[in-house]
A and B are shown apart, each in its own frame.
Chain A
Amino acid sequence: MIGFVLRRLAQSVFVMLAVSLLAFAMFHYVGDPVEVMVGQETSIEDRERLREQLGLNDPVLTQYARFLGDLVTGNFGFSYRTRQPIGEMILSRMPATLELGFVSLLISLIIGIPAGIFTALRSGGLAAQTILVTTLVGISIPTFVIGLFLIYLFGVQLGWLPTYGRGDVVEIGWWKTSFASWSGLRALILPAITLGVYQLTLTMRLVRSEMQDVMNTDFIKFAIARGIDYRSVHYRHALRNSMVPVITIIGLQFGGIIAFSIVTESVFQWPGMGLLFLDSIRFVDIPVLSVYLVLIALIFVVINLIVDILYFVIDPRVRLKPEAG
C-alpha cells in the first residue's frame, strides 16, 4: 500500500515539475517582462537596472528554482495586463468556476448513472435505443452551441432565466457564492446544464459499457443460474462491480469540467477562472497563463492521485495485478 502510494506520489511530483518547467519556459521565453513593465521613455540604463533587480540576468536554472520557490510559497507575481497580484485574481474568480463545475458534475451523475444502468439492462428496448441516439447527438453538439440554444430558448423566447453573469452573490469570507440567493441560483441553471450535457453523455456511455461488461461475466451468469432474482443480481452484484472504473472517470471529469468551463463561461459571461484565462490569452498575459496552467495541472494531478488511491482501496484486483508499464 505505502509503496504504491509513494510511487504514485513520485509520479505526480514529476508531472508537476514538468508542467512547471513548461510554465517557466513560457514565462521566460515568450515576451520580455521588462518591455511590458516600462514605458517608452525609460532609458536603457534604467531598463538594465530593472532587469538586474528582477533577477533576469541570473542563470536560467537559478531563475527556474526561484520560479518554483515562488509557486510553492504562493507568490505568483503580477499580471501584465491589470498589474494585480495573480494569486488574488485567480482566487477571486475560483469560487464561480468551482460552483459551476460542482453543479454540472452533480447533474451529469444524477442523470448519467441511472440512464447508463437503464440502457445497459434494457439494451434492446425502444426507450434505451432512443436514449443512446440522443447521447450520440449530445456528444456531437459543441458546448457553445448548446449554450446558445439554451439562451435563445429559455432566456430570449421564454424569458424564464437570466442569460449572463452570476446574479446576486453572497460573500462568505472571501468566497462569493451563488448558492445563497434566489437570483444566484437561477443564474446558475443554464450554464450548469450547458457544461453538464457533455459530461452527462460520457458518464452514461461509460456506466452502460461497464455494466454490460459485468453482465457478461461468469459470476453474473452463475448468479442468474442459481435463481437469485434479477433485481438483486443487477443492483447488488453487477452495479457494485461496474462502479469502480466509473469513479476514475468522475475524477477525471472534474478536471475536464474545469477546463471546459472556459467555453461555457465565455458564452454566459460567467466571471470565473475560464473567462480570466481567455482574456489573458487575448492580451498575451503570460504570467497569468503560466500560473493558470500550473493550477489546472495541480487540480488534475491531485484528483488523479486521490482516484488512484481510492481505486487501490476499493478494488482488490488492482492490488494483485503486477504493475503494467
Chain B
Amino acid sequence: MLTWWRRVRVENEMLYLFLRRPVAQLAALAAFLSIMGALFAPLITPSNPYDLASFDILDSFLPPAWSDGGDPRFIIGTDDQGRDLYSSILYGTRLSLLIGLCSVAFAAVLGTALGVAAGYFGGRFDAVVMRIADVQLSLPAILTALLVDGVARGLLPRQQHEELLLVVLTVAIALSLWVDFARTARASTFVERNKEYVQAAEIMGLHPIRIMAVAILPNILGPLMVIGTVDLAVAILLEATLSFLGVGVPADQPSLGTLIDTGKDYMFSGEWWIVIFPAAMLISMIIAVNLLGDFFRAVLNPRLR
C-alpha cells in the first residue's frame, strides 16, 4: 500500500514538473513524433526506399517540391539514386531508433545486472566486474564500437556479415555503453544494501536474486533512467557516426548516417537537400532525447530545480 502511494506521488510530481516546463514538453513532442514517424513509416510514406523497384534513377537529384525543377511527388526532393528523400528519412529514422533502443536496452540489462550484483555481493565478484569496467573505460565508446565491428568483419564470412550487420552494430554499441549502467547501478546498490528493508528481506530468507530484483532494483531505477536517456542519445549518435564512416548499416538499408554520408558528396555541387534534411532530422532527434535526459535529471535531483 505504501509503495503504491509513494509511486503515485512521484508520478504526480513528475507530471507537475513536466507541465511547468515547455522545453521538456516540446522535447517530448519531438521524440513522440519521431517514434510515430518511425513506427508508421510504411503507412505514411509514398515509397519504400529499400525496394529497388520502387524508385527510378531518372528521378535522381530532384530538388524539394517548392523550388524550381521540383516534383510534387517528392516533397523534399530525391537523392542520387532517385529515392524519395522523405521516405528515406523516415525509414532511416526507423533504423536509427531501432538500433539505438535495442543497444541501450541490451546495455541496460547487462550493465544493471552486473552492477547490482557487484554492489550487492561486493568482494571478489565486485572487484572483477569493476576491473573489467576499468578496461572498458580505457577504450572510448567509438573505438570499442569500431573494434567490435572490425573483429566481426574478420570472424564472419562476408555474406554472413552483411546479414548480421544490424546485430553486430547493435552489440558493438551496447558493449561500449554498458559500463555507464554498471557503475551507476553498483553505486546506488551500495547505498541501498545496508538499508533496513534489504536487511529485513535477508532475514526473511529471500533468495539474493529475488532481493536484488524485487527489493533493490525498483529503488535504484531513477538514476538508471537518466543514464538510459542520455545513452540513447549517445547510441543514436554512435550509430550515425559508424554509418557515416561506412562501417555501420548495410548500404541498401540507409540510416540517417548513411544518408548524410551519401549526401556530403553532393553538398559541394549544390544538391544541399540530400544532406540537410537527414542531418536536421538526426540532430533534432538527439536534441529532443538530450532535453528529456536533462528533464529526468532535474526531476530526480531537487538541487537542480
Question: In angstroms, how far is the closest chain B Cβ from the Cβ of A64?
Answer: 16
Looking at chain B's contact residues, is the secondary structure mostly helix, strand, loop, or mixed? helix
* With A18-B131, A286-B154 as contacts: A278 and B140 at CB distance below 8 Å: no
Are B130 and A325 within 8 A (Cβ)? yes
> In the complex, which residue of chain A has the Cβ closest to the Cβ of B284?
A140
Tell me if A259 and B142 are in contact (CB < 8 A). Answer: yes
CA distance A296 to B264 in the complex (A): 29
The residue on A at minimum CB distance from B237 is A142
Are B126 and A139 neighbours in the complex by a CB distance under 8 Å?
A: no
In the complex, are the beta carbons of B146 and A30 less than 8 A apart? Answer: no
- Nearest chain A CB to B249 CB, angstrom units: 15
Is there contact, CB below 8 Å, between B154 and A260? no
In the assembled complex, the Cα of A184 lies from the Cα of B183 at a distance in Å of 43
Q: A18-B131, A281-B153, A284-B150 are in contact. Are A142 and B241 (CB under 8 A)?
A: yes
**CB-CB under 8 A for A142 and B240, given A11-B134, A282-B246, A284-B154:** yes
Contact call A145/B147, Cβ cutoff below 8 A: no
A15 B135 Cβ-Cβ under 8 A: yes
* A282-B247 in contact (CB<8A): yes
Q: Please determine whether B264 and A148 come into contact, CB atoms closer than 8 angstroms.
A: yes
Question: Is the CB of A277 closer than 8 A to any CB of chain B?
Answer: yes
Interface residues of B in 241-273 (CB under 8 A from A): 241, 244-247, 257, 260, 264, 267-268
Question: Whole-angstrom distance between the alpha carbons of A144 and B246 in the complex?
Answer: 13
| A22 to B287 CA separation, bound complex (whole angstroms) | 35
How close is A120's CB to chain B, nearest CB, in angstroms? Answer: 13
CB distance from B100 to the nearest CB of A (A): 13
- Cβ-defined contact, B260 with A281, below 8 A: no
B273 to chain A, nearest CB (A): 13
Binds B, one of A98-106, A189-197, A297-305: A297-305
Q: Which residue from chain A places its CB closest to the CB of B247 in the assembled complex? A: A281
Q: How far apart sit A216 and B166, CA to CA, in the bound complex (Å)?
A: 47
Stretch with Cβ within 8 A of A (4 or more), from B58-66, B74-82, B275-283 = B275-283
Cα–Cα distance between A141 and B186 once the two chains are bound (Å):
31
In contact, A14 and B131 (Cβ under 8 angstroms):
yes
Which chain A residues lie closer than 8 Å to B260 at the CB level?
Answer: 144-145, 148
- Indicate the member of A19, A29, A259, A297 with the most B CB atoms within 10 Å: A259
A304 and B138 CA atoms in complex are apart in Å by: 9
> Which residues on the A side are within 8 Å of B245 (C-beta)?
144, 262-263, 266, 278
User: Across the two chains, which residue of chain B brings its CB closest to A31?
Assistant: B154
- Per the bound structure, the CA–CA distance linking A293 and B282 in Å amounts to 30
B151 interface contact, C-beta 8 A? yes
Query: Would you call B26 an interface residue if the criterion is a C-beta within 8 Å of the partner chain's C-beta atoms?
Result: no
How does the 8 Å CB contact mask read for B137-174 relative to A, with 1 for contact and 0 for none? 01110110011011101110000000000000000000
Q: Considering residues B244, B268, B290, which has the most beta carbons from chain A within 10 angstroms of its beta carbon?
A: B244
Question: Does A4 interact with chain B (Cβ within 8 Å)?
Answer: no
Bits for A154-166, please: 1 = Cβ < 8 Å to B, else 0: 0010000000000
A119 contacts chain B at the CB level, 8 A cutoff: no
The answer to whether A293 and B139 have CB atoms under 8 Å apart is yes
Question: Which partner residue on chain A sits nearest B143 by CB separation?
Answer: A259
Segment 171-187 of A: residues with Cβ below 8 Å from B:
none
B233 / chain A contacts, CB cutoff of 8 Å: 140
Beta-carbon nearest neighbor of A325 in chain B = B130
Asked whether B146 lies within 8 Å of A281 as measured between CB atoms, the reply is yes
Q: A136-B287, A284-B154, A289-B147 are in contact. Are A148 and B267 (CB under 8 A)?
A: yes
Please name all residues of chain B whose beta carbon is closer than 8 Å to the beta carbon of A219 when the two chains form the complex: none
Residue A255 at the chain B interface, CB threshold 8 Å: yes
Residues of A within 8 A of B282 (CB): 142, 145
A residues less than 8 Å from B240 (CB atoms): 142, 144
The verdict on A152 contacting chain B, using a C-beta distance below 8 Å, is yes
A155 to chain B minimum Cβ distance, whole angstroms, is 9
A140 near B134 (CB under 8 angstroms)?
no
Q: Is the CB of B283 within 8 A of A140?
A: yes
Nearest A residue to B140 by beta-carbon distance?
Answer: A259
Q: Which residues of B contact A141 (CB under 8 A)?
A: 283, 286
Interchain Cβ contacts under 8 Å between A and B, 9 examples: A18-B135, A142-B286, A145-B283, A152-B267, A259-B139, A280-B150, A281-B149, A284-B153, A304-B138
Mark A residues whose CB is within 8 Å of B.
11, 14-15, 18-19, 22, 26, 29-31, 136-137, 139-145, 148, 151-152, 156, 216, 255-256, 259-260, 262-263, 266, 277-278, 280-282, 284, 286, 289, 293, 296-297, 300-301, 304, 325
Known: A26-B147, A136-B290, A300-B139. 9 other contacts (CB 8 A): A22-B135, A26-B151, A26-B154, A136-B287, A156-B267, A255-B140, A278-B146, A281-B146, A325-B186
